[in-house]
Amino acid sequence: MPKPASAVKKAGQQRGVRGSRTGRPIMVLLDLLGRRWSLRILWELRGGPLTSRALRAACDEASPTVLQARLSELREADFIELLPAGGYGLTALGKELNETFLPLHRFAEGWSKR
């Protein structure tokens, strides 16, 4: 019989990294990037800044709720920033992170022919 099962969890981690309690940087990063739309957002910004609405359009009209949540998280992680002129753009760190994923594109092309 499934017990309440919560009431305990609130203590341990609340403001945290969700799926990772170790705190190891790579885990924190994998967890952050493992949230829905995170990778996609970074990817869509690779060509230059986009307004929040353009970004939403680029992301298949994902709901603004999650998008804003991700944008906040990614901003807090210093991967993207809200430009003074409007629109979101990659920070230097974000660009560096994005380059990490460049080989992924090539990989994806080959993988799709599996």
Partner DNA sequence: TCCCGTGCTACAATAAACGTAGCGCTATGC
Partner DNA sequence: GCATAGCGCTACGTTTATTGTAGCACGGGA
Q: Is 7 in the site for its own copies (CB under 8 A)?
A: no
Return the range that interacts with its own copies (CB under 8 A); candidates 49-57, 81-89, 102-110.
102-110
Task: Supply the DSSP string of 8-67, one letter for each residue.
Answer: SHHHH-SSS-SS--S--HHHHHHHHHTSTTHHHHHHHGGGS-B-HHHHHHHTTT--HHHH
| Dihedral sign, Cα of residue 45, residue 50, residue 56, residue 57 | negative
- Spatial separation of the C-alpha atoms in residues 38 and 30, rounded to whole Å: 10
Minimum CB separation of residue 17 from DNA in Å reads 10
Residue selected from 24, 30, 64, 104 as contacting DNA according to rule CB under 7 A: 64
- Secondary-structure percent of the chain, ordered helix, strand, coil, rounded to 5: 55, 5, 40
Residues 50-89 that bind its own copies (CB under 8 A): 59-60, 62, 77-78
Residues contributing to the site for its own copies (CB under 8 A):
19-22, 25-31, 33-40, 43, 59-60, 62, 77-78, 93, 96-97, 100-101, 103-105, 107-109, 111-112, 114
Residues contributing to the site for DNA (CB under 7 A):
1-6, 8-10, 18-19, 35-37, 51-54, 61-66, 68-69, 71-72, 82, 86-88
